[in-house]
Chains A and B, each alone.
Chain A
Amino acid sequence: MTAEHVSPSKLLRPLSPLDGWQAAFDALPNVVAVTEIAFMAQLNLRVDPSGPAAGAVAKVLGSALPTQPCSSTRSGEYQLLWLGPDEWLILAPEGAGPELETALREAIGGEPGAVTDVSAQRTTLALSGCASRELLAKGCSIDLHPKVSPMGTCVQTLVAQTGIIIVARDETASDFLLVVRASFAQYFAAWLIDAGVELTGAC
């Protein structure tokens, strides 16, 4: 027995689904860049967009919920992703989940609606670089050209047979947020690396 006691919380650290993958992402040709944004707070929100709760929720989020299918809205540190006509995914900074969950639940009050912390359900990848669209096109049929998918576009679709939420984050459609189920993250990361290896040269 040593006299010194080390708290388990100092020995343990959270492990993201893609812990240890960054070196492989960094080895990709420099026309793409992939980085995991781990531990983002993610809340699934169900509410009637035409009911009184939607307005109360908008006050908490600082922005109205996007009601256009396949779109998203940025509001300060929050990203509001349209998942369905009465369903959204709220992305918030790491650790912001519990407080936001409580605030949203209070805003909904007795109206029909639900807030669920689903932070552990998915992880997120930032994909950027001039060959981003070319890379995604290898496994995805959605036209991500900015003429069709302008900034803010948020599509739920299949990429390499895996359910992915793609958010277009800039005007030139070369910067994407990819949201993937934790249990599919390693498969998807391996697919990204395999698909990206043959991207060579300049754009």
Chain B
Amino acid sequence: MQLISCPWCGPREEAEYHYGGQAHVAYPHDVGAMSDADWADYLFFRDNPRGPFAERWVHAAGCRRWFNAVRDTGTHEVLAVYRIGEPQPELGTQASR
């Protein structure tokens, strides 16, 4: 089974985690002023790259903390994990923990 490193607990089996979609999607500041199109864009549209993608994951069966991970969507390789609030690591300069 694939191992994913929790930024708190260390490497654990993939089955202990749940996926939470694209990371770093901020809630809009002024929802009332948004057009329907912009609101729909925020609600329903996410990037879907082939390659490195910053995602939210939760260590559901462990410490139950959310964190961010950069995963290569082509190979499933987890390139980096980092705690909520920490900046997205520059790929290539920082290995996964």
Residues of A whose CB lies within 8 Å of any CB of B are: 69-70, 83-85, 87, 141-142, 155-158, 161, 163
Pairwise interchain contact B64-A157, C-beta atoms closer than 8 A: no
B62 neighbours in A (Cβ, 8 Å) = 155-157
A70 neighbours in B (Cβ, 8 Å) = 8-10
The CA of A156 and the CA of B60, in the complex, are separated in Å by 10
Which 6 A-B residue pairs are closest in the complex by CB-CB distance?
A84-B63, A69-B8, A156-B62, A158-B61, A141-B13, A163-B61
Whether A158 touches B63, Cβ cut-off 8 Å, given contacts A69-B9, A70-B9, is no
* Smallest beta-carbon distance B42→chain A, Å: 29
Q: Which residue of A lies closest to B63 (CB)?
A: A84
A155 neighbours in B (Cβ, 8 Å) = 9, 62
Q: Which residue of B lies closest to A140 (CB)?
A: B13
A158 neighbours in B (Cβ, 8 Å) = 13, 15-16, 61
Please report whether the interface of chain B is mostly helix, strand, loop or mixed according to DSSP.
loop
Pairwise interchain contact B61-A156, C-beta atoms closer than 8 A: yes
Pairwise interchain contact A85-B8, C-beta atoms closer than 8 A: yes
Whether A141 touches B1, Cβ cut-off 8 Å, given contacts A69-B63, A156-B62, is yes
Whether A83 touches B13, Cβ cut-off 8 Å, given contacts A69-B8, A141-B1, is no
B64 neighbours in A (Cβ, 8 Å) = 83-84, 156
Which of B12, B13, B63, B65 has the largest count of A CB atoms less than 10 A from its CB? Answer: B63
Pairwise interchain contact B13-A156, C-beta atoms closer than 8 A: no
The CA of A163 and the CA of B9, in the complex, are separated in Å by 15
Interface flags, B42-76, vs A, CB<8A=1, else 0 = 00000000000000000001111100000000000
A83 neighbours in B (Cβ, 8 Å) = 63-64
The CA of A158 and the CA of B17, in the complex, are separated in Å by 11
Pairwise interchain contact B10-A85, C-beta atoms closer than 8 A: no
The CA of A141 and the CA of B13, in the complex, are separated in Å by 8
The CA of A87 and the CA of B62, in the complex, are separated in Å by 12
B16 neighbours in A (Cβ, 8 Å) = 157-158
Q: Which residue of A lies closest to B62 (CB)?
A: A156
Pairwise interchain contact B61-A84, C-beta atoms closer than 8 A: no
What are 10 contact pairs spanning A and B, CB under 8 A?
A: A69-B10, A69-B63, A83-B64, A85-B65, A155-B62, A156-B64, A157-B12, A157-B62, A158-B16, A163-B61
